[in-house]
Structure 1
Amino acid sequence: MTKARLLITRFAPHAVRLSNLLNAQGTAAFAQPLLEVKQTADFNDIRVLFADRYDYIIAVSPNAVDYTKLALGDNPWPDASYFAVGKGTQARLTSATGKSVSIPDKRYDSEGLLALPYLSNIQGKRILILRGLGGRELLSETLTARGAVVEYYQPYQRVAIELSGPLLTEKWQQLNINGVIISSVELLERLLVVVPEVEHKWLKSLTIYAPSKRITAHAVSLGWSAAEVLPGISDQKIVDYFK
Protein backbone atom coordinates (compact mmCIF):
# COMPACT_ATOMS: atom_id res chain seq x y z
CA MET A 1 0.00 0.00 0.00
CA THR A 2 1.42 3.40 -1.00
CA LYS A 3 2.17 5.58 1.99
CA ALA A 4 0.27 8.85 2.02
CA ARG A 5 2.08 12.08 1.14
CA LEU A 6 -0.43 14.76 1.98
CA LEU A 7 -1.19 18.33 1.02
CA ILE A 8 -2.97 20.18 3.87
CA THR A 9 -5.14 23.02 2.55
CA ARG A 10 -6.79 24.19 5.79
CA PHE A 11 -6.59 27.72 7.14
CA ALA A 12 -3.37 28.91 8.78
CA PRO A 13 -2.24 28.19 11.45
CA HIS A 14 -4.31 24.96 11.46
CA ALA A 15 -2.62 23.62 8.32
CA VAL A 16 0.87 24.01 9.78
CA ARG A 17 -0.13 22.49 13.11
CA LEU A 18 -1.69 19.44 11.47
CA SER A 19 1.22 18.93 9.07
CA ASN A 20 3.66 19.06 12.00
CA LEU A 21 1.67 16.41 13.87
CA LEU A 22 1.46 14.15 10.82
CA ASN A 23 5.18 14.49 10.10
CA ALA A 24 5.98 13.73 13.74
CA GLN A 25 4.21 10.37 13.48
CA GLY A 26 5.81 9.47 10.15
CA THR A 27 3.28 10.64 7.56
CA ALA A 28 4.69 13.14 5.07
CA ALA A 29 2.52 16.25 5.06
CA PHE A 30 2.92 19.73 3.56
CA ALA A 31 0.89 22.78 4.56
CA GLN A 32 -0.49 25.17 1.95
CA PRO A 33 -3.55 27.20 3.00
CA LEU A 34 -5.66 28.24 0.03
CA LEU A 35 -8.01 30.65 1.81
CA GLU A 36 -7.66 33.15 4.63
CA VAL A 37 -10.22 34.60 7.03
CA LYS A 38 -11.03 38.31 7.34
CA GLN A 39 -13.64 40.45 9.09
CA THR A 40 -16.76 41.51 7.22
CA ALA A 41 -18.80 44.70 7.42
CA ASP A 42 -21.25 42.76 9.62
CA PHE A 43 -18.60 42.40 12.33
CA ASN A 44 -19.63 45.66 14.04
CA ASP A 45 -23.36 44.82 14.03
CA ILE A 46 -23.02 42.48 17.00
CA ARG A 47 -24.58 44.78 19.61
CA VAL A 48 -27.59 45.49 17.41
CA LEU A 49 -28.20 41.79 16.76
CA PHE A 50 -27.71 40.71 20.35
CA ALA A 51 -30.07 43.44 21.58
CA ASP A 52 -32.84 41.09 20.45
CA ARG A 53 -33.73 37.99 22.40
CA TYR A 54 -32.99 34.67 20.75
CA ASP A 55 -34.25 31.27 21.86
CA TYR A 56 -31.47 29.36 20.10
CA ILE A 57 -28.01 30.40 18.92
CA ILE A 58 -26.20 28.07 16.49
CA ALA A 59 -22.49 28.26 15.63
CA VAL A 60 -21.37 26.50 12.48
CA SER A 61 -17.57 26.85 12.87
CA PRO A 62 -14.83 27.67 15.38
CA ASN A 63 -14.13 30.86 13.40
CA ALA A 64 -17.75 31.93 13.88
CA VAL A 65 -17.30 31.59 17.64
CA ASP A 66 -13.92 33.36 17.69
CA TYR A 67 -15.08 36.34 15.67
CA THR A 68 -18.32 36.67 17.64
CA LYS A 69 -16.33 36.59 20.89
CA LEU A 70 -13.98 39.25 19.54
CA ALA A 71 -16.89 41.46 18.48
CA LEU A 72 -18.64 41.10 21.84
CA GLY A 73 -15.57 42.14 23.78
CA ASP A 74 -16.51 42.44 27.45
CA ASN A 75 -20.24 42.14 26.72
CA PRO A 76 -21.85 38.90 27.93
CA TRP A 77 -23.16 36.24 25.60
CA PRO A 78 -26.97 36.16 25.48
CA ASP A 79 -29.03 33.82 27.64
CA ALA A 80 -30.13 31.24 25.06
CA SER A 81 -29.90 27.56 24.19
CA TYR A 82 -26.66 26.99 22.28
CA PHE A 83 -25.91 24.55 19.46
CA ALA A 84 -22.82 23.74 17.40
CA VAL A 85 -22.33 21.71 14.24
CA GLY A 86 -19.32 19.73 15.47
CA LYS A 87 -17.15 18.89 18.46
CA GLY A 88 -14.46 21.48 17.73
CA THR A 89 -17.04 24.26 17.49
CA GLN A 90 -18.78 22.91 20.59
CA ALA A 91 -15.57 23.11 22.62
CA ARG A 92 -14.87 26.66 21.46
CA LEU A 93 -18.46 27.79 22.13
CA THR A 94 -18.60 26.17 25.56
CA SER A 95 -15.36 27.92 26.51
CA ALA A 96 -16.57 31.29 25.23
CA THR A 97 -20.05 31.21 26.77
CA GLY A 98 -19.62 29.02 29.84
CA LYS A 99 -22.88 27.34 28.81
CA SER A 100 -23.89 23.85 27.76
CA VAL A 101 -23.75 23.39 23.98
CA SER A 102 -25.67 20.67 22.11
CA ILE A 103 -24.25 18.96 19.00
CA PRO A 104 -25.44 16.21 16.64
CA ASP A 105 -25.13 12.62 17.90
CA LYS A 106 -23.14 11.32 14.92
CA ARG A 107 -23.23 13.36 11.74
CA TYR A 108 -21.43 16.67 12.29
CA ASP A 109 -23.01 18.86 9.64
CA SER A 110 -26.23 20.77 8.97
CA GLU A 111 -28.15 17.56 8.34
CA GLY A 112 -26.97 16.11 11.65
CA LEU A 113 -27.93 19.25 13.52
CA LEU A 114 -31.38 19.36 11.93
CA ALA A 115 -32.01 15.79 13.12
CA LEU A 116 -31.78 16.85 16.78
CA PRO A 117 -35.16 16.60 18.56
CA TYR A 118 -34.64 20.11 20.03
CA LEU A 119 -34.88 21.60 16.55
CA SER A 120 -37.95 19.74 15.35
CA ASN A 121 -40.74 21.62 17.14
CA ILE A 122 -39.61 25.25 16.80
CA GLN A 123 -42.70 27.13 15.63
CA GLY A 124 -42.21 30.81 16.47
CA LYS A 125 -38.72 30.35 17.93
CA ARG A 126 -36.12 33.03 17.24
CA ILE A 127 -32.82 31.57 16.03
CA LEU A 128 -29.49 33.27 15.36
CA ILE A 129 -26.91 31.45 13.20
CA LEU A 130 -23.26 32.44 13.64
CA ARG A 131 -21.29 31.69 10.46
CA GLY A 132 -18.99 33.05 7.78
CA LEU A 133 -20.31 35.10 4.90
CA GLY A 134 -21.96 32.84 2.33
CA GLY A 135 -22.16 29.08 2.59
CA ARG A 136 -24.98 26.58 2.56
CA GLU A 137 -28.54 27.75 3.14
CA LEU A 138 -29.93 24.35 4.15
CA LEU A 139 -29.90 25.09 7.88
CA SER A 140 -31.69 28.43 7.61
CA GLU A 141 -34.16 27.25 4.99
CA THR A 142 -35.15 24.12 6.94
CA LEU A 143 -35.50 25.93 10.27
CA THR A 144 -37.60 28.63 8.57
CA ALA A 145 -39.79 25.94 6.97
CA ARG A 146 -40.34 24.51 10.45
CA GLY A 147 -41.73 27.85 11.59
CA ALA A 148 -38.72 29.54 13.19
CA VAL A 149 -37.61 33.14 12.66
CA VAL A 150 -33.97 32.86 11.54
CA GLU A 151 -31.27 35.53 11.32
CA TYR A 152 -27.55 35.44 10.54
CA TYR A 153 -24.56 37.06 12.16
CA GLN A 154 -21.71 36.75 9.64
CA PRO A 155 -18.62 38.44 11.14
CA TYR A 156 -16.01 36.87 8.87
CA GLN A 157 -15.45 35.77 5.30
CA ARG A 158 -13.14 33.39 3.50
CA VAL A 159 -10.88 35.13 0.98
CA ALA A 160 -8.69 33.50 -1.66
CA ILE A 161 -4.94 33.77 -1.07
CA GLU A 162 -3.05 34.96 -4.14
CA LEU A 163 -0.81 32.07 -5.18
CA SER A 164 1.32 31.08 -8.16
CA GLY A 165 -0.52 27.99 -9.36
CA PRO A 166 2.09 26.75 -11.86
CA LEU A 167 4.96 27.06 -9.36
CA LEU A 168 2.99 25.40 -6.55
CA THR A 169 1.82 22.57 -8.79
CA GLU A 170 5.39 21.89 -9.90
CA LYS A 171 6.50 21.88 -6.24
CA TRP A 172 3.73 19.46 -5.22
CA GLN A 173 4.62 17.12 -8.07
CA GLN A 174 8.27 17.17 -7.04
CA LEU A 175 7.21 16.32 -3.49
CA ASN A 176 5.25 13.33 -4.85
CA ILE A 177 2.01 14.47 -3.24
CA ASN A 178 -0.60 11.72 -3.59
CA GLY A 179 -3.41 12.96 -1.35
CA VAL A 180 -5.11 16.19 -0.28
CA ILE A 181 -6.95 16.92 2.96
CA ILE A 182 -9.97 19.09 2.14
CA SER A 183 -12.33 20.42 4.81
CA SER A 184 -14.94 22.13 2.64
CA VAL A 185 -16.42 22.21 -0.86
CA GLU A 186 -15.14 25.77 -1.16
CA LEU A 187 -11.54 24.60 -0.60
CA LEU A 188 -11.95 21.83 -3.16
CA GLU A 189 -13.14 24.28 -5.78
CA ARG A 190 -10.37 26.72 -4.89
CA LEU A 191 -7.83 23.93 -5.45
CA LEU A 192 -9.18 23.49 -8.97
CA VAL A 193 -8.62 27.19 -9.62
CA VAL A 194 -5.07 27.24 -8.21
CA VAL A 195 -3.86 24.22 -10.20
CA PRO A 196 -3.58 25.05 -13.93
CA GLU A 197 -6.15 23.27 -16.09
CA VAL A 198 -3.41 21.43 -18.01
CA GLU A 199 -2.51 19.71 -14.72
CA HIS A 200 -6.06 18.74 -13.73
CA LYS A 201 -5.52 15.16 -14.86
CA TRP A 202 -2.66 14.89 -12.37
CA LEU A 203 -4.68 16.70 -9.69
CA LYS A 204 -7.62 14.33 -10.05
CA SER A 205 -5.33 11.33 -9.72
CA LEU A 206 -4.74 12.34 -6.09
CA THR A 207 -6.88 10.95 -3.29
CA ILE A 208 -9.20 13.46 -1.64
CA TYR A 209 -9.61 13.06 2.13
CA ALA A 210 -12.55 14.96 3.60
CA PRO A 211 -14.61 14.90 6.83
CA SER A 212 -17.99 14.41 5.15
CA LYS A 213 -19.63 12.37 2.42
CA ARG A 214 -21.00 15.58 0.94
CA ILE A 215 -17.48 16.79 0.14
CA THR A 216 -16.25 13.44 -1.19
CA ALA A 217 -19.37 13.08 -3.34
CA HIS A 218 -18.71 16.55 -4.76
CA ALA A 219 -15.12 15.54 -5.52
CA VAL A 220 -16.34 12.48 -7.41
CA SER A 221 -18.82 14.63 -9.35
CA LEU A 222 -15.91 16.86 -10.39
CA GLY A 223 -13.90 13.92 -11.72
CA TRP A 224 -11.93 12.48 -8.82
CA SER A 225 -11.94 8.69 -8.69
CA ALA A 226 -10.48 8.30 -5.18
CA ALA A 227 -12.14 10.09 -2.26
CA GLU A 228 -12.18 8.89 1.35
CA VAL A 229 -14.25 10.10 4.30
CA LEU A 230 -12.20 10.92 7.38
CA PRO A 231 -13.56 9.97 10.83
CA GLY A 232 -13.55 13.64 11.81
CA ILE A 233 -11.84 16.97 11.25
CA SER A 234 -9.97 17.18 14.56
CA ASP A 235 -6.18 16.94 14.37
CA GLN A 236 -6.07 13.78 16.48
CA LYS A 237 -8.63 11.91 14.40
CA ILE A 238 -6.75 12.73 11.21
CA VAL A 239 -3.38 11.77 12.69
CA ASP A 240 -4.83 8.46 13.95
CA TYR A 241 -6.37 7.77 10.53
CA PHE A 242 -2.98 7.87 8.84
CA LYS A 243 -1.05 5.83 11.43
Structure 2
Amino acid sequence: MNTNILITRPEPENALSCAFVRQCGWTPVPLPMMSITPLNSPEQQAAIRSQVFCLDEFQFVFFVSKNAARLALEYIDECWPMAPINTQWIGIGAGTTELLKHGGLPAISNPGNTTEQLLEWLKPVNMRHSKVLIVRGQGGRPALADGLEAKGAKVTYLELYQRSEPSYTAQDLLFLDPFELIWATSAEGVENLTKLAQQHNVDIFHRPILVPSERVRRLSAELGWQKVICSNGADDQSLYLATKDLLGRT
Protein backbone atom coordinates (compact mmCIF):
# COMPACT_ATOMS: atom_id res chain seq x y z
CA MET A 1 0.00 0.00 0.00
CA ASN A 2 1.36 3.42 -0.97
CA THR A 3 1.89 5.89 1.85
CA ASN A 4 2.39 9.63 1.47
CA ILE A 5 4.83 11.14 3.99
CA LEU A 6 5.25 14.84 4.72
CA ILE A 7 9.01 15.53 4.88
CA THR A 8 9.84 18.63 6.92
CA ARG A 9 13.65 18.67 6.92
CA PRO A 10 15.42 21.82 5.75
CA GLU A 11 17.12 21.72 2.37
CA PRO A 12 19.30 20.15 1.09
CA GLU A 13 18.44 17.27 3.46
CA ASN A 14 14.77 17.43 2.45
CA ALA A 15 15.53 16.44 -1.15
CA LEU A 16 17.79 13.62 0.02
CA SER A 17 15.13 12.26 2.37
CA CYS A 18 12.52 12.51 -0.37
CA ALA A 19 14.74 10.39 -2.64
CA PHE A 20 15.19 7.87 0.19
CA VAL A 21 11.43 7.69 0.78
CA ARG A 22 10.83 7.00 -2.92
CA GLN A 23 13.35 4.14 -2.79
CA CYS A 24 11.33 2.69 0.09
CA GLY A 25 8.24 2.61 -2.12
CA TRP A 26 6.47 5.51 -0.44
CA THR A 27 5.58 8.96 -1.77
CA PRO A 28 7.30 12.00 -0.25
CA VAL A 29 5.50 15.31 0.18
CA PRO A 30 8.20 17.97 0.71
CA LEU A 31 7.49 20.88 3.03
CA PRO A 32 10.69 22.16 4.69
CA MET A 33 9.92 23.62 8.09
CA MET A 34 13.21 25.41 8.51
CA SER A 35 15.46 27.44 6.22
CA ILE A 36 19.24 27.21 6.58
CA THR A 37 21.29 30.18 5.39
CA PRO A 38 25.11 30.06 5.57
CA LEU A 39 26.81 33.06 7.13
CA ASN A 40 28.37 34.49 4.00
CA SER A 41 29.16 38.16 4.42
CA PRO A 42 32.89 38.93 3.90
CA GLU A 43 33.24 39.78 7.59
CA GLN A 44 31.51 36.59 8.72
CA GLN A 45 33.53 34.39 6.39
CA ALA A 46 36.78 36.00 7.53
CA ALA A 47 35.89 35.40 11.18
CA ILE A 48 34.99 31.75 10.42
CA ARG A 49 38.27 31.14 8.57
CA SER A 50 40.18 32.65 11.47
CA GLN A 51 38.59 30.11 13.82
CA VAL A 52 39.09 27.21 11.41
CA PHE A 53 42.80 28.01 11.11
CA CYS A 54 42.97 27.42 14.88
CA LEU A 55 41.38 23.96 14.85
CA ASP A 56 44.60 22.32 16.03
CA GLU A 57 44.22 24.14 19.36
CA PHE A 58 41.15 22.04 20.24
CA GLN A 59 41.20 18.54 21.70
CA PHE A 60 37.54 17.93 20.78
CA VAL A 61 35.37 19.28 17.96
CA PHE A 62 31.63 18.54 18.05
CA PHE A 63 29.30 18.90 15.05
CA VAL A 64 25.64 19.25 16.00
CA SER A 65 24.02 18.70 12.58
CA LYS A 66 24.57 17.69 8.97
CA ASN A 67 24.49 21.35 7.97
CA ALA A 68 27.20 22.14 10.49
CA ALA A 69 29.30 19.24 9.19
CA ARG A 70 28.77 20.08 5.51
CA LEU A 71 29.66 23.75 5.84
CA ALA A 72 32.59 23.07 8.18
CA LEU A 73 34.09 20.54 5.76
CA GLU A 74 34.19 23.22 3.07
CA TYR A 75 36.19 25.54 5.32
CA ILE A 76 38.44 22.75 6.58
CA ASP A 77 39.25 21.67 3.02
CA GLU A 78 40.11 25.27 2.20
CA CYS A 79 42.20 25.98 5.29
CA TRP A 80 43.82 22.62 6.07
CA PRO A 81 45.56 20.51 3.38
CA MET A 82 45.58 17.80 6.06
CA ALA A 83 43.21 17.95 9.03
CA PRO A 84 44.78 18.23 12.51
CA ILE A 85 45.70 14.75 13.77
CA ASN A 86 45.45 15.31 17.53
CA THR A 87 41.83 16.43 17.45
CA GLN A 88 38.89 14.15 18.27
CA TRP A 89 36.03 14.76 15.79
CA ILE A 90 32.58 13.91 17.16
CA GLY A 91 29.26 14.03 15.32
CA ILE A 92 25.88 14.03 17.04
CA GLY A 93 23.82 11.40 15.25
CA ALA A 94 24.70 8.76 12.67
CA GLY A 95 23.95 10.95 9.65
CA THR A 96 26.24 13.76 10.79
CA THR A 97 29.03 11.34 11.65
CA GLU A 98 28.82 9.54 8.31
CA LEU A 99 28.94 12.86 6.47
CA LEU A 100 32.13 13.79 8.35
CA LYS A 101 33.71 10.44 7.54
CA HIS A 102 32.79 10.83 3.89
CA GLY A 103 34.50 14.22 3.99
CA GLY A 104 37.74 12.70 5.28
CA LEU A 105 37.49 13.28 9.03
CA PRO A 106 37.82 10.20 11.30
CA ALA A 107 34.71 11.11 13.25
CA ILE A 108 33.06 9.01 15.93
CA SER A 109 29.73 9.25 17.71
CA ASN A 110 27.89 7.75 20.63
CA PRO A 111 25.38 4.94 20.06
CA GLY A 112 22.48 7.31 20.74
CA ASN A 113 21.15 10.25 18.78
CA THR A 114 20.66 13.08 21.26
CA THR A 115 22.80 15.58 23.14
CA GLU A 116 21.74 14.00 26.42
CA GLN A 117 22.83 10.53 25.25
CA LEU A 118 26.12 11.98 24.02
CA LEU A 119 26.84 13.55 27.40
CA GLU A 120 26.03 10.26 29.12
CA TRP A 121 28.45 8.47 26.77
CA LEU A 122 31.17 11.02 27.61
CA LYS A 123 30.87 10.53 31.38
CA PRO A 124 34.04 8.39 31.65
CA VAL A 125 36.07 10.83 29.53
CA ASN A 126 38.29 13.26 31.44
CA MET A 127 37.72 16.61 29.73
CA ARG A 128 38.95 18.86 32.50
CA HIS A 129 40.85 21.82 31.00
CA SER A 130 40.25 20.46 27.48
CA LYS A 131 39.54 23.00 24.74
CA VAL A 132 36.32 22.11 22.97
CA LEU A 133 34.81 23.58 19.81
CA ILE A 134 31.09 23.18 19.05
CA VAL A 135 30.22 23.68 15.37
CA ARG A 136 26.60 24.75 14.96
CA GLY A 137 24.17 27.38 13.71
CA GLN A 138 23.46 30.64 15.47
CA GLY A 139 21.40 30.40 18.64
CA GLY A 140 21.34 26.65 19.13
CA ARG A 141 20.51 24.80 22.36
CA PRO A 142 23.02 25.37 25.21
CA ALA A 143 22.65 21.83 26.62
CA LEU A 144 25.84 20.45 25.06
CA ALA A 145 28.03 23.36 26.11
CA ASP A 146 26.55 23.35 29.60
CA GLY A 147 27.21 19.63 29.97
CA LEU A 148 30.79 19.88 28.70
CA GLU A 149 31.56 22.88 30.89
CA ALA A 150 30.25 20.92 33.87
CA LYS A 151 32.97 18.37 33.05
CA GLY A 152 35.59 21.14 33.23
CA ALA A 153 35.99 21.76 29.50
CA LYS A 154 36.53 25.19 28.01
CA VAL A 155 33.92 25.57 25.25
CA THR A 156 34.01 27.78 22.16
CA TYR A 157 31.36 28.02 19.44
CA LEU A 158 31.94 28.07 15.69
CA GLU A 159 28.66 29.27 14.16
CA LEU A 160 28.28 28.72 10.43
CA TYR A 161 24.64 29.35 9.56
CA GLN A 162 21.38 30.84 10.72
CA ARG A 163 18.02 29.13 10.91
CA SER A 164 14.77 30.84 10.00
CA GLU A 165 11.11 29.95 9.73
CA PRO A 166 9.98 29.51 6.11
CA SER A 167 7.00 31.46 4.84
CA TYR A 168 4.04 29.57 3.37
CA THR A 169 0.63 30.82 2.31
CA ALA A 170 -2.76 29.20 2.76
CA GLN A 171 -2.65 28.47 -0.98
CA ASP A 172 0.63 26.57 -0.55
CA LEU A 173 -1.10 24.29 1.94
CA LEU A 174 -4.24 24.01 -0.15
CA PHE A 175 -2.31 22.59 -3.10
CA LEU A 176 -0.10 20.35 -0.98
CA ASP A 177 -0.47 16.68 -1.87
CA PRO A 178 -2.37 14.60 0.71
CA PHE A 179 -0.26 12.79 3.31
CA GLU A 180 -0.87 10.15 5.97
CA LEU A 181 2.05 10.79 8.33
CA ILE A 182 4.82 13.28 9.04
CA TRP A 183 8.58 13.09 9.49
CA ALA A 184 9.75 15.88 11.81
CA THR A 185 13.44 15.89 12.73
CA SER A 186 13.80 18.75 15.21
CA ALA A 187 11.92 20.58 17.92
CA GLU A 188 12.11 23.81 15.93
CA GLY A 189 10.62 22.07 12.90
CA VAL A 190 7.69 20.79 14.98
CA GLU A 191 7.13 24.25 16.44
CA ASN A 192 7.14 25.85 12.98
CA LEU A 193 4.74 23.25 11.58
CA THR A 194 2.43 23.72 14.55
CA LYS A 195 2.39 27.49 14.07
CA LEU A 196 1.76 27.12 10.33
CA ALA A 197 -1.18 24.74 10.84
CA GLN A 198 -2.72 26.98 13.48
CA GLN A 199 -2.22 30.12 11.41
CA HIS A 200 -4.10 28.68 8.42
CA ASN A 201 -6.60 26.57 10.39
CA VAL A 202 -5.33 23.29 8.95
CA ASP A 203 -6.28 20.35 11.16
CA ILE A 204 -3.38 17.92 10.89
CA PHE A 205 -2.83 17.33 14.59
CA HIS A 206 -4.43 13.88 14.42
CA ARG A 207 -1.88 12.67 11.86
CA PRO A 208 0.94 10.47 13.17
CA ILE A 209 4.13 12.52 13.51
CA LEU A 210 7.53 10.84 13.89
CA VAL A 211 10.06 12.78 15.96
CA PRO A 212 13.71 12.05 16.81
CA SER A 213 13.77 11.97 20.60
CA GLU A 214 11.76 11.78 23.80
CA ARG A 215 12.39 15.48 24.40
CA VAL A 216 10.79 16.37 21.07
CA ARG A 217 8.01 13.83 21.66
CA ARG A 218 7.05 15.53 24.92
CA LEU A 219 7.17 18.97 23.29
CA SER A 220 4.99 17.80 20.39
CA ALA A 221 2.38 16.38 22.76
CA GLU A 222 2.34 19.66 24.68
CA LEU A 223 1.74 21.51 21.39
CA GLY A 224 -1.36 19.43 20.72
CA TRP A 225 -0.18 16.60 18.46
CA GLN A 226 -2.27 13.57 19.27
CA LYS A 227 -0.18 10.70 17.91
CA VAL A 228 3.54 11.28 18.41
CA ILE A 229 6.00 8.45 17.78
CA CYS A 230 9.65 8.62 18.84
CA SER A 231 11.92 7.23 16.11
CA ASN A 232 15.02 7.36 18.36
CA GLY A 233 16.99 9.23 15.73
CA ALA A 234 16.69 11.94 13.09
CA ASP A 235 18.44 9.96 10.35
CA ASP A 236 16.49 8.41 7.48
CA GLN A 237 17.13 4.84 8.61
CA SER A 238 15.69 5.46 12.08
CA LEU A 239 12.64 7.14 10.58
CA TYR A 240 12.26 4.30 8.06
CA LEU A 241 12.24 1.65 10.79
CA ALA A 242 9.75 3.61 12.89
CA THR A 243 7.53 4.09 9.83
CA LYS A 244 7.65 0.39 8.96
CA ASP A 245 6.69 -0.45 12.54
CA LEU A 246 3.85 2.07 12.51
CA LEU A 247 2.46 0.85 9.18
CA GLY A 248 2.68 -2.74 10.37
CA ARG A 249 0.46 -1.88 13.32
CA THR A 250 -2.18 -0.02 11.27
Q: Deviations over 1:153-208 (max 9, x none)?
A: 011112222221x1233234xx43232110001111111232243625x1211211
Contact 2:210 2:239 in 1 (8 A): no
Aligned to 1:186: 188
CA–CA distance in structure 1, aligned partners of residues 54 and 24 of structure 2: 48
Classify 1:70/1:25 alpha carbon distance in 2 versus 1 (closer, same or farther; 3 Å).
closer
Aligned to 1:28: 27
Residue identity in the other structure for 2:109? I
Contact 1:204 1:225 in 2 (8 A): yes
Q: Deviations over 1:49-73 (max 9, x none)?
A: 2426111111111211111122234
Classify 1:80/1:118 alpha carbon distance in 2 versus 1 (closer, same or farther; 3 Å).
farther
Deviation at 1:118, TM superposition (A): 6.5
CA–CA distance in structure 2, aligned partners of residues 61 and 17 of structure 1: 15
Classify 1:8/1:127 alpha carbon distance in 2 versus 1 (closer, same or farther; 3 Å).
same
Residue segments in structure 1 that go unaligned for 5+ positions in a row: none
Residue pairs, 1:153-168, within 5 angstroms: 153-164=158-169, 166-168=170-172
Classify 1:104/1:89 alpha carbon distance in 2 versus 1 (closer, same or farther; 3 Å).
same
Contact 2:217 2:230 in 1 (8 A): yes
Root mean square deviation, CA, Å: 2.4
TM-score under structure 2 normalisation? 0.83
Classify 1:198/1:46 alpha carbon distance in 2 versus 1 (closer, same or farther; 3 Å).
closer
Which is worse superposed, 35-44 or 57-66?
Answer: 35-44
Residue pairs, 1:52-71, within 5 angstroms: 53-71=57-75
Deviation at 1:149, TM superposition (A): 0.5
Residue segments in structure 2 that go unaligned for 5+ positions in a row: 245-250
The number of aligned residues is: 236
CA–CA distance in structure 1, aligned partners of residues 38 and 134 of structure 2: 17
Residue identity in the other structure for 1:163? Y
Residue identity in the other structure for 1:182? A
TM-score under structure 1 normalisation? 0.86
Residue identity in the other structure for 2:167? E
Deviation at 1:3, TM superposition (A): 6.9
Aligned to 1:91: 98
Residue identity in the other structure for 1:215? V
CA–CA distance in structure 2, aligned partners of residues 180 and 147 of structure 1: 40
- What SS does the aligned partner of 2:96 have? helix
Contact 1:114 1:120 in 2 (8 A): no
- What SS does the aligned partner of 1:223 have? coil
Residue pairs, 1:203-242, within 5 angstroms: 203-242=204-243
Q: Which ranges of 4 or more aligned residues in structure 1 deviate by more than 6 Å?
A: none
Contact 1:27 1:242 in 2 (8 A): no
